Structure 1
Amino acid sequence: MRTVASARLLLRPWRADDADFLLDLESRWEVVRFLGARPRTMNNREDALASIARRCAIDDPIHGIWAITTAADGRLVGNLLLKPIPLSAGEPTGGPAEVEIGWHLHPDAWGHGYATEAAAAVLDDAFSRGLPRVIAVTSPDNHASQAVCRRLGMTHLGRTTRYYDTTNELFAKLTS
């Protein structure tokens, strides 16, 4: 998987030696509380290693799940994904799969603009590779991620139950 750079950040593939950071990140309820329909915290290093293996298994020229690091010192600050989004049970299939962008950062990295900067870099990269549209879904209560979506120039399309078997706010952005 490729790396993606911005002014302050380097998004790179996850590595096994990132397991302690991932465990710290995803063992925090305040970080995972809005992830998926049934959020849960990570409980052990083995779960972190298994999660890293799944993240690294994506072999696609556009999609990926990246570790977000600071460019200056390589400090891990979070996770960013760009991948096909799963439909809710019973949703009609057909046509091209929607691609979602999502992020979650360590609380120590909140408030520095890293989510917006990392997502903007990945969106620019994906659009330059021919991806025509990207969506984001957020919990209706996740106002911080909704603000990131707006800073990215994404359009709010309203509420939907089409993804993840739960109600989400839906945002979309077309290639510029």
Structure 2
Amino acid sequence: MTRDAVITERLVVRPPQDADRSRFVELFGDADFMAFATDVLTEEQAHARFDHMAEVCRAIPFGKQPVVELASGRIVGYTGVDHIEVDGRAWLEWGYRLASDARGRGYATEASLALLAKARETYAGELLAIIDPANVASRHVIGKLGFTFWKQTPIDGDPCDLFTLTLGDG
């Protein structure tokens, strides 16, 4: 286990490792995993997305990273931040995504709360979350994480609900 890992009762959230690549390429190409995303990724796009995820984690200790089920050792998704620009402003955008067979177990909330605790140790400022208005489950999770509704705005032409959370004195 890496020293950067966050461990909960059922999960490990840790920076991505080279050995995780094939699992994420598989997940990024899965329509169920990529629900509420623009589209599934090609193999080349999936490799690039994994590389980007690893790069962000090297710079930000709470960048998007694997969520690993302790009981099975299987990567079931990810949680954390990435960079995004919305309405001309640069943000750290909080997101999470789980494999369909890992949903409904509270994993997104559990993993995100653990990584948010780590974020609070090193970051003061606002975080943004972008939720598809039809994604009722994700709206529940983001509320449990303490984010509050800010506004609805189009992103890539689709209406999205934006939520914010301020950490520290930010």
Structure 1 residues 7-18: aligned runs within 5 Å: 7-18=9-20
1:54 to 46, 52, 55: 52
Q: Partners in 2 of 1:92 and 1:22 — Cα distance?
A: 30
Distance in 1 between residues matched to 2:112 and 2:94, nearest whole Å: 7
Q: TM-score, normalised by structure 2?
A: 0.83
**Higher strand proportion, which one?**
2
RMSD: 2.3
**SS of equivalent to 2:46:** helix
- Mapped partners of 2:164, 2:128: distance in 1: 4
Aligned twin of 1:171 = 163
- What pairs with 1:26-45 in structure 2 (closer than 5 Å)? 26-35=28-37, 39-44=38-43
The gaps in structure 1 that reach 5 residues or longer are: none
Q: Distance in 2 between matches of 1:173 and 1:136?
A: 8
**Higher RCO (C-alpha under 8 Å, 6+ residues apart):** 1
Return the TM-score normalized by structure 1: 0.80
Matched, 1:22 2:24: yes
Distance change >3 Å, CA 78–CA 153, structure 1 → 2:
same
Q: Which sections of structure 2, spanning at least 5 residues, go unmatched?
A: none
Show CA shifts across 1:127-164 (max 9, x none). 12132322211111111111111121221123123x55
Percent of residue pairs identical: 28
Letter in 2 for 1:135: L
Aligned length: 165
Structure 1 pair 57–175 and aligned structure 2 pair: CA distance change class (3 A):
closer
Distance 2:114 2:99 in 1: 19
* Aligned residue number for residue 138 of structure 1: 131
